[in-house]
């Protein structure tokens, strides 16, 4: 029997990949990797390693989760060292727990290698602290879309979210940002609550669009924001302008390639 390493590839910047993730990639026989994985990571793999793209594009699942599960088992049963490479952290909206449960059910040894989740990187690289003694003592991670086939759309407890006295981070929510802002304000959150949308967090082409619950949806449309992107809601967004250290690096990079 081989072994499966359910591995977080981090948010995009290759410098944010953990040493453990690099080590398991370097000894892999097979790598099943997702859409948002930095392809430079694949260069660490041995020459013989088989690299299989199993990414799910936004709102378009080409390869089913069931198929991925079966492939993990099949390769491990052949005695392979298998790396399941997933963007961010595999256990934060990454389906890593589902894959681990399937491996356990089929008697396959596995290890879960944590990664830097995108919200931490997007906050750090945009100068937005997710917690701050003067602005937020709590942070809440929320998925911005629901499981395919589940009725009711974004059927969250909106009054609970609106009353949450801290930072709210919506993953995968740009397509639904209009509904998110509308529901939060309808449930009682101030329309003046600050919001930032971070596109391609930690990468050199990162963009940060800021506003409030009443304006951000139109700002996102005007800027043609795409995926991947995170929505950060809360007073911590006000630190963006002062702490945006990454902007100087982006400016220097643009000057170099101009």
Full domain range(s) for residue 170? 118-243
230 & 124 share domain: yes
Judged against a pLDDT cut of 90, whether residue 61 lies above it is answered with no
67 & 132 share domain: no
CA distances from 256 to 114, 239, 247, 253 (A): 34, 28, 14, 5
Judged against a pLDDT cut of 90, whether residue 24 lies above it is answered with yes
- The answer as to whether 192 is a domain residue is yes
Report pLDDT for 3. Answer: 98
Report pLDDT for 154. Answer: 86
| Domain final position from 60, 78, 113 | 113
Judged against a pLDDT cut of 80, whether residue 216 lies above it is answered with yes
- The answer as to whether 51 is a domain residue is yes
Report pLDDT for 62. Answer: 75
Tell me which residue of 189, 97, 197, 187 sits closest to 144, measured CA to CA: 197
Tell me which residue of 128, 122, 179 sits closest to 155, measured CA to CA: 179
pLDDT grade for 233, boundaries at 50, 70 and 90:
very high
What six digits make up the tokens of 53? 């793209």
103 & 7 share domain: yes
Report pLDDT for 241. Answer: 95
13 & 106 share domain: yes
Judged against a pLDDT cut of 90, whether residue 181 lies above it is answered with yes
Judged against a pLDDT cut of 90, whether residue 40 lies above it is answered with yes
- The answer as to whether 252 is a domain residue is no
- The answer as to whether 65 is a domain residue is yes
Report pLDDT for 145. Answer: 77
pLDDT grade for 172, boundaries at 50, 70 and 90:
very high
| Domain final position from 96, 113, 130 | 113
126 & 191 share domain: yes
93 & 134 share domain: no
- The answer as to whether 163 is a domain residue is yes
Q: Is the pTM of this model over 0.85?
A: yes
What average pLDDT does the structure give for the chain?
A: 94
133 & 235 share domain: yes
- The answer as to whether 251 is a domain residue is no
- Quick one: what percent of the chain has pLDDT higher than 70? 95
Judged against a pLDDT cut of 90, whether residue 125 lies above it is answered with yes
178 & 68 share domain: no
Report pLDDT for 152. Answer: 56
131 & 159 share domain: yes
**CATH number, domain with residue 144:** 3.30.950.10
* Cα dihedral across residues 183, 189, 193, 195: positive or negative: negative
Average pLDDT score over residue span 86-105: 97
31 & 123 share domain: no
- Number of domains comprising the chain: 2
- The answer as to whether 256 is a domain residue is no
**Can you name the residues that pair with 88 across neighbouring β-strands?**
10
Distance CA 46, CA 135 (A): 47
145 & 161 share domain: yes
Average pLDDT score over residue span 117-126: 98
- The answer as to whether 179 is a domain residue is yes
Judged against a pLDDT cut of 90, whether residue 153 lies above it is answered with no
Judged against a pLDDT cut of 90, whether residue 155 lies above it is answered with no
Distance CA 141, CA 143 (A): 7
Active site residue ranges: 34, 56, 172
| Domain final position from 113, 136, 155 | 113
**CATH number, domain with residue 37:** 3.40.1010.10
pLDDT grade for 59, boundaries at 50, 70 and 90:
low
122 & 237 share domain: yes
């Amino acid at each position: 029997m081989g072994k499966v390493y359910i591995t977080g590839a981090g948010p995009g910047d290759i410098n944010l990949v953990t040493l453990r993730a690099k080590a398991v990639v370097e000894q892999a026989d097979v790598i099943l990797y997702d859409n948002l994985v930095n392809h430079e990571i694949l260069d660490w793999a041995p020459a013989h390693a088989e690299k299989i793209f199993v990414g799910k594009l936004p709102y378009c699942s080409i390869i089913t989760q069931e198929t991925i599960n079966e492939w993990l088992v099949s390769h491990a049963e052949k005695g392979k060292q298998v790396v399941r490479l997933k963007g961010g952290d595999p256990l934060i909206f990454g389906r890593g727990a589902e894959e681990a449960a399937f491996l356990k059910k089929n008697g396959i040894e596995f290890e879960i290698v944590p990664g830097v989740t995108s919200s931490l990187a997007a906050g750090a690289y945009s100068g937005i602290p997710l917690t701050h003694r003067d602005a937020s003592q709590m942070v809440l991670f929320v998925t911005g879309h629901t499981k395919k086939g589940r009725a009711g759309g974004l059927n969250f407890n909106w009054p609970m979210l609106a009353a949450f006295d801290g930072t709210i981070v919506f993953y995968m929510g740009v397509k639904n940002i209009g509904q998110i802002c509308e529901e939060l304000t309808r449930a009682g959150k101030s329309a003046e609550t600050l919001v930032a949308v971070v596109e391609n967090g930690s990468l050199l082409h990162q963009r940060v669009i800021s506003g409030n619950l009443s304006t951000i949806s139109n700002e996102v449309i005007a800027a043609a924001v795409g995926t991947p992107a995170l929505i950060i809601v809360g007073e911590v967004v006000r630190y963006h302008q002062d702490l945006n250290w990454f902007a100087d690096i982006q400016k220097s990079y643009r000057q170099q390639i101009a």
